[in-house]
Amino acid sequence: MPMVFGRRVAAYAALGALVVATAAAANSATTPGIYSTTQAAAGSKVFEANCASCHGENLEGGAGPALSGQNLKTLAKNTKLTVSQMYTFFSQEMPLNNPGSLTSAQYLSIMAYILKFNGYPSGSGALTSTSIKKATMIITSLKS
Ligand code: HEC
């Protein structure tokens, strides 16, 4: 679906992802835990109810792109999208059939779940609307 893809690239460009790439790529040894396991568990349920129909029960993709594995690695390489930018994108544009319909707490929990699923370590505190702004590491998959 080239039109849809074009819109996503345009949205990312507007976020500055295609222009500035100052953030360092994440790796599991140096990546700080920016979400809590409780938050990720809540996010799993929110994702299942609102996102899995298009992105897959296991983030493997379907009508929408995979939010895991090789697809995230390719995304990181091509767009240098940060965690903060991905969050901004999906909290405004997703679910595709009802954009922006969830609460900030729900969107933040989904971000925690996506991070956990892709091998990012958890920390002692939950991701908040303040801390997400400082999440400048490039989102990828830390799983091989
Ligand atoms: C009705 C189907 C549908 C639902 C439901 C949906 N998405 Fe999407 N999503 C898409 C499609 C299609 C794209 C590609 C859009 C584009 O390229 O503009 C996309 C793109 C994305 C992207 C960008 C991925 C990339 O490779 O750049 C993210 C992140 C995302 N969705 C997250 C979510 C989250 C989180 C939810 C639940 C709150 C959700 N989506 C619900 C269909 C959906």
Q: Is 114 part of a structural domain of the chain?
A: yes
Cα(101) to centroid(ligand 1), Å: 13
Q: Is 16 part of a structural domain of the chain?
A: yes
pTM for the full model? 0.91
Q: Is 112 part of a structural domain of the chain?
A: yes
Give the model's pLDDT for residue 29: 67
Q: Is 142 part of a structural domain of the chain?
A: no
Using most ligand atoms within 8 A of CB, pick from 96, 102, 114, 132 the residue to mutate for ligand 1.
Answer: 96
- Nearest-angstrom CA–CA distance, 25 and 134: 14
- Split at pLDDT 50, 70, 90, the class of 31 is confident
Q: Is 120 part of a structural domain of the chain?
A: yes
Give the model's pLDDT for residue 47: 98
Q: 51-66: per-residue pLDDT in tens?
A: 999 999 999 999 999 9
Residues with CB under 6 A from ligand 1: 4-5, 7-8, 50-51, 53-55, 63-65, 67, 75, 86, 89-90, 94-97, 102, 110
Higher pLDDT, 89 or 13: 89
**Is residue 65 reached through a cis peptide bond, with omega within 30 degrees of 0 on the bond before it?**
no
- For residue 80, give its domain range: 2-134
Residue 77: CATH number of its domain: 1.10.760.10
Cα(84) to centroid(ligand 1), Å: 16
